[in-house]
Structure 1
Amino acid sequence: MARNWNRIIPRNTLEAMRLCKDYAKAKRNLSVERIADRMGVSADNLYSWLGNGKMHLSLVQSYEHVCGCTFISDHLTHAQGNLSVKIPSGRSLQDADLLKMHGSFSKTMALLADFYAGKADANETLNAITDHMQTAAWHRGNVGKHLEPEFDFVTEEE
């Protein structure tokens, strides 16, 4: 069964690091050796970091860039009680955007009702709430982009 990478929220730094590795393998067909090569570090070092969950902070951005995901940064943000939201581009709304928002809201409400009735897991409920808040915040930012349009750059030829 395929993972829904957008809904995964790591519980600790080690899990976040391993999720990045798994994502790179699943989505980019990158082995640990290839990730290490692209980062400019040895595979032995990367295996060590994936084993103990300790990577120098200066390497996190490079690691996430090579892997193509931000599980570590997102985890660090959430661990401080903050919410990370992808910066909206100000693009036009697609039908899929509204469907995702509706699905996120429906799932979150169902899990909340089940949680308060003692039928749902707290971690699953928290993940659904976080996912919905991120989706709503993205839409808020996207609508806000329309209030503050960016400058068009004019070339000398125009």
Structure 2
Amino acid sequence: MKRRNWKSAQPSSIRQALEWSLEYAKERHNLSVERIAERMGLANHWALYKWASEGRMPAVSIPAFEHVCGINLVSRWLASTGSKLLIDMPTGRGCSASDMQELQAALHTATGALLAFYNGTADADATLAAIQTGLEGLAWHRGNVQQHAHPQLELGEPHE
């Protein structure tokens, strides 16, 4: 089974965002649903199962859920449904060759997805996800260049 590229994962529904977040927590942090619920301070882990199956989670629980899981897929989905881009805060630090290669790959994938979509061989959800990833990458680099004159300290762990 091919591993998912979590940096470019763009869920197409809230249910998918919740399910992928749970998958990420299991894959990367070996967290079960019960342990996630416990770390969120939920008295009953069945509530988390219910939220994921129904695609409904109280908005006040989203930050804790994403923090425990270690990925912000729900916020990404919320931003995209509001026609907004969600990017990590640019720090103004220099970029490596691998950072530029990731951007180039994302833009190449977006262009390929557009070509396939207009040829009728790709669906709209996959195309939109590829475009969203490319736009977010460009927006981050734009902000990083703007912030370059005033670099920030890198505090905490970066999200994938």
Amino acid at match of 2:24: Y
In the TM superposition, 1:10-29 aligns within 5 A as 10-29=11-30
2:36 corresponds to? 35
Task: Return the TM-score normalized by structure 2.
Answer: 0.88
Q: Which has the higher contact order (CA 8 A, sep 6+)?
A: 2
Partners in 2 of 1:40 and 1:106 — Cα distance? 42
2:57 corresponds to? 55
Deviation at 1:117, TM superposition (A): 2.0
1:126 corresponds to? 128
CA gap of 1:35–1:135, structure 2 versus 1, over 3 A, is same
Q: CA RMSD in A?
A: 1.5
Q: Is the 8 A contact 2:113 2:122 kept in 1?
A: yes
Partners in 2 of 1:33 and 1:96 — Cα distance? 37
Q: Is the 8 A contact 2:62 2:74 kept in 1?
A: yes
1:75 corresponds to? 77
- Structure 1 segments of 4+ aligned residues over 3 angstroms from their partners: 147-151
Identity %: 37
Gaps of 5+ in 1: 152-158
Gaps of 5+ in 2: 154-160
Partners in 2 of 1:122 and 1:49 — Cα distance? 26
Deviation at 1:95, TM superposition (A): 0.6
1:110 corresponds to? 112
Deviation at 1:149, TM superposition (A): 4.6
Task: Return the TM-score normalized by structure 1.
Answer: 0.89
Deviation at 1:148, TM superposition (A): 3.8
